Amino acid sequence: MSVSFRCRVAIPILLWSSFATGQVAQAPASGGTLQQEADYRVVAARCGTPAFEKGFTRQSRAMVAAGLVGSTKDPVAAEKAITALRRNPYRLIATPADCRAELVALAALQKQRTRFVKTPRGR
């Protein structure tokens, strides 16, 4: 079993398990959640439409600003860390065929997060 195959299989499972159990938005912030949030943003950018990416990123930044993601109380430091932790999108999503499952997981995560943070609609 190659490493790239494991990554393609592990990421959807991690996305599914994290939002299905409700741990992403409810868990106390830890250093690992910043990496996970960076991965979510990369997947949204790689697989989603520009509108989906913009909405997901806006909601993600609101979660960070509210202190629900990240171990630091400083949202600026958390945003800098998330930007620094972004991975290569081709390593997370090897083929466009993997995007469908990723987008379903991200849409469900985004829907779950609406309970915690209200973001302004586009003007």
Distance from C-alpha of 11 to C-alpha of 9, rounded to nearest angstrom: 6
Integer Cα distance of 39 and 57 in angstroms: 11
**pLDDT value of residue 95:** 84
- The tokens describing 110, both together, are 């985004």
Confidence of residue 122 (pLDDT cuts 50, 70, 90): low
63-100 pLDDT, tens digit each: 998 888 877 778 899 999 999 999 988 888 888 888 99
Question: 28-68: per-residue pLDDT in tens?
Answer: 344 468 999 999 999 999 999 999 999 999 999 999 988 88
pLDDT of residue 110: 92
Q: Helices (DSSP H) in 1-123: which residue ranges?
A: 3-20, 23-26, 31-47, 50-65, 75-85, 89-92, 99-113
